[in-house]
Amino acid sequence: MKTFYALFLSTFISVAAIAGETPSAGEPAPGFRLQDQNGEWHELQDYRGSWLAVYFYPKDQTPGCTTEACNFRDNIYAFKAIGAEVVGISLDDVESHKEFSDKYKLPFIILADEGGAVADSYGVLRDYKLIKIASRQSFLVNPEGIIVKHYEDVDPDTHTQEVLSDLETMMSKSTQ
């Protein structure tokens, strides 16, 4: 049975359609206009003048996604102290985000990209025919709206600390 499952999973993953091209560091961050967990609309331009960590994640209420969200939650004051914002994005709907945010007391915006257009514009959309998800990747966006770092290989346990450290380094360089 394990062999069948492994074969099924590898076939399922191999038929995934990969998203559009991922923007590189130095390029403008793709814009968005999405609703948050409270039904309020947010656009990339709302964050002009601030450093922004945009993290994409596959699914509300799943173990890795919960770990990552809670780590951002637990470090939100460190982000605020350096003047940075955090925004999470997945393909879940507003209602799912509301439940997730309320359950884990998330003090930051999570955006509902139900159609996957924003995930596609960032190159993180994965289409497995039966399900579409955003792969777990993040982007740091500077106050001018330019991507300064792309995290392709994200470990939910350590990612928040990595982002904070990189932000502190980048911010100290930009003030010199």
3-state secondary structure 30-53: CCCEEEECCCCEEEHHHHCCCEEE
Give me the CATH topology for the region 16-174. Answer: Glutaredoxin (3.40.30)
Q: What is the pLDDT of residues 5-56, one digit of tens each?
A: 444 444 444 444 455 688 889 999 999 999 999 999 999 999 999 999 999 9
**Residues above pLDDT 90, as percent of the chain:** 77
Give the active site residue among 29, 34, 54, 65. 65
pLDDT of residue 31: 96
82 Cβ neighbours under 8 A, 6+ residues apart: 51, 164, 167, 168, 171
User: Residue 118: is its pLDDT beyond 90?
Assistant: yes
By CB neighbour count within 10 A (0-12 exposed, 13-18 middle, 19+ buried), where does 119 fall? Answer: buried
Is 70 one of the annotated active-site residues of the chain? no
Q: Mean of the pLDDT values across residues 66-75?
A: 98
Whether the pTM exceeds 0.85: the reply is yes
Look at residue 21 in the predicted model and tell me its pLDDT. 84
Q: 10 Å Cβ neighbour count for 76?
A: 17
